Structure 1
Amino acid sequence: MKYFLWCLLLPFLAYSQHQIGDAGQIFDETRFDPRFPDMKEWAKAGVQGGIPLRNTLKIQKTLTPQDNLQEAIDEVADLGGGVIFLKKGEYIISKPITLKSNVVLRGENKDQTVLKVVMKKMFFKYSPDQKHLVAFEINNAEWVGLEDLTFRYAAVDFEPYDKSDFNAAWDRRVFHEHETRDTTLFVHLVIFRNCRNSWVDNCNFLWAGTHPLGLGNCEHMTCRNNFMDRAYVKNDSFHGGYYGCWGSKYCLFYNEKVRRIRHFAIMSPGAAYNVVYQCDFEVDVNFHDQDNGHNLVEQCRIATPVWHSWDAIGIGAVNKHRPPGPENLLFNNTVISKGVSGYNRKMGAAQPNAVYQVTTEFGKPNVFLRPDAPPKGGTFYAVKAQP
């Protein structure tokens, strides 16, 4: 599809050019279709007022790999905020880093400014201390930005277990068996909790220990132009290899490319009015554990490899998860389920301009075709640049 070519070009364009998620975008009333009132809510997704353009925030400090990153964050936060500019190089992260309100971490070059996480953590499933370790943690903060960086888990010298060939045969070891080579890899790369109006833009998340990036109970977040590939821990019931939002609302995911992790997830009570737009997923989009519904996935490629364990859309499992919420809509997505065209392997290829919905009940197909005509403006995500 043409928009994928555009998506591939976006990271190389100057950031002075406006794109989805930037400041200055408003709801396009001319495309509003009153049959779908959620359109007005979806237009509110993302950072309120948009991600600030790169040239509008002051650089307060410039660092090299020899400098203390946490001290710089604390100092800039005390000054009221601003950008910490990280020069090219490898920054070794051996203990958790805490981001604070109004602080933006920006790399000189996405591929050459590398935050190498070398921490380890054992996970005891039946212990009172079940928290994973988080390399970069952001709690109860706002206006925090991560820009033009690579986050790379590098605590071991072997690769995550997965497949490089999209059509490789299914193997239960990838998602359903423990990582036995090293049992101390329960380390998330980046987690936001109870945050607002923050963003992650043009970053790489590579070889995560567990989750590459998660938004927990957040509001008005934007994740844009990021690339995620691989995770070590992604087996059943061990909370690994997820990217997405848990209990969060009004979050915008745009032009994200994700592969070789467990799920992209919209889940847990409170998750509503999130927009996933023009993303490229080689993982399933999973609605489970009772989101609040009213989420939108539009114009995405969702293609689970043959070796993956789920169809393009997942909804969890009866007796293990709570069912998805209502009015989760799917529109004009290109979908392949384990190598077969369609939202699942039984329903056939998705029809263009047809409205699909995620089921709210177990025991039925995970997606169904609604009888509605498409929205009159040709999209559910109706935004435009402010004149």
Structure 2
Amino acid sequence: MNFIGIRPIKYLLFFIGVSVPVFAQHQVGDAGQVFDESRFDPRFPDMKEWAKAGVQGGIPLRNTLKIQKTITPKDNLQEAIDEVAALGGGVILLKNGEYIISKPVTLQSNVILRGESKDQTVLKVVMKKIFFKYAPDQKHLVAFEINNAERVGLEDLTFRYAAVDFEPYDKSDFNAAWDRRVFHEHETRDTTLFVHLVIFRNSRNSWVDNCNFLWAGTHPLGLGNCEHITCRNNFMDRAYVKKDSFHGGYYGCWGSRYCLFYNETVRRIRHFAIMSPGASYNVVYRCDFEVDVNFHDQDYGHNLVEQCRIATPVWHSWDAIGIGAPDKHRPPGPENLLFNNTVISKGVSGYNRKMGAAQPNTVYQVTTEFGKPNVFLRPDAPPKGGTFYAVKAQP
């Protein structure tokens, strides 16, 4: 299966010269990590809160959870989930192959879906959804939904929207010219593609680790009103519905707290979003984005973006940091900090196209007011330990 957009990702190289192996035995987000008091800087009390982001107790190592059931594409996935949930939970191992998803799948607490091989275990979503103009609550379908659950895991899988035989509209060349059609016009070739791949709602202590999300109908992955979720080592590329006000092509968290995003690679969607009332104490660490990081609609602030590459292509519609528009959104919350990121805005170095290159070891903050630059330089000296995300392996 040679889907466009899949590529092996073994190392993500950062501007500071550090390479992070995806399959290292111990990595950020694993069990056994604690706050590093030796690096605490009392000028920035949020450091203690950011260290709590992600699954409480960490993502369990693969060999510590029992495989309760092994299935193949011939088996019924929902029945397997229900069966394992009734047993108290455990891992469902999906053998390699294409699993056709023609109706919504609901995950339950303590159930982990694990692929035999990420690129060869493919959950092929073929559902469609008609947009009802006068029933916005029925706007989208969700292929995999997690509601009011905990200890749910998605590991080593490819989620691929495959309901049509044409590609999403975007650009493969980073320097291609801006084109209004990508983000600001309807998808007219087929108007029934309002299908999210994976949505967590009102859930906690769950994780998505080492998965591909390809060609989503709308959102590839979203966390709504959740707490302590870890998204790690995932690759996302492309979405069909990315038009204004259609809530399509987002990845991120809305109204969620204490979520950790680590080593995520994201391409050719609308936004990575931290948004909506309640969104606070989320950490975005060492990710590689070719989309903007967008704070809008009144997040509660106190979110951290550190050591990421954020590079919006020339054809993208936003600078590296977005804050929404005053005629559509409420302003961002306070104390959203940016530190040691490499940023390019529509091909120009900087958090926006006017302020110039972001300086290393310098603290920046997202504005809380419309009508001002979306990011400003803070006068504070950098944290004494060289990072705001101060965690270490427990001795």
Aligned residues: 382
Matches within 5 A, 1:49-60: 49-60=57-68
1:356 maps to a residue whose letter is Y
Q: Is the 8 A contact 1:4 1:278 kept in 2?
A: no
Map 1:14-53 to 2 at 5 A.
Answer: 17-53=25-61
- Measured in 1, the distance between the counterparts of 2:17 and 2:228 equals 25
SS class of match (1:229): strand
Q: How does 1:200-211 map to 2 (within 5 A)?
A: 200-211=208-219
TM-score (norm 2): 0.96
CA–CA separation in structure 2 for the residues paired with 1:82 and 1:104: 6
**Secondary structure of 1:174 counterpart:** helix
| C-alpha displacement of 1:3 | 6.2
Instruction: Say which SS state the counterpart of residue 76 (structure 1) adopts.
Output: helix
How many Å apart are 1:319 and its aligned residue? 1.4
Give the match for residue 22 of structure 2: 10
Does residue 66 of the first structure (1) align with residue 74 of the second (2)? yes
**1:297 matched to 2:299:** no
* 3-state DSSP of counterpart to 2:69: strand
* Counterpart in the other structure of 2:295: 287
Could you tell me how far apart the structure 2 residues matched to 1:350 and 1:103 are? 42
**Are residue 360 (structure 1) and residue 368 (structure 2) matched?**
yes
Q: 1:42 touches 1:381 (CA, 8 Å); kept in 2?
A: yes
- Equivalent position of 2:348 in the other structure: 340
The 1-side partners of 2:102 and 2:18 are apart by 38
TM-score, with length taken from structure 1: 0.97
Contact 2:40 2:384 in 1 (8 A): yes
Moved over 4 A (4+): 2-5
Unaligned runs of 5+ in 2: 1-13
SS in 2 for 1:92: strand
Q: Deviations over 1:261-283 (max 9, x none)?
A: 00000000000000000000000
Where does residue 206 of structure 2 map in the other structure? 198
* Residue of structure 1 equivalent to 2:6: none
Alignment map for 1:55-134 (pairs within 5 Å): 55-127=63-135, 129-134=137-142
Q: How far did residue 2 of structure 1 move?
A: 5.9
Matched residues in 2 for 1:79 and 1:3: separation? 47
| Identity across the alignment (%) | 90
Deviation for aligned residue 1:98: 0.2
Change (3 A) 1:342 1:195: same
Aligned to 1:171: 179
Alpha-carbon separation, structure 1, partners of 2:136 and 2:272? 27
1:6 aligned partner, one-letter code: S
Letter in 2 for 1:337: S
Shift, 1:105, TM fit: 0.1
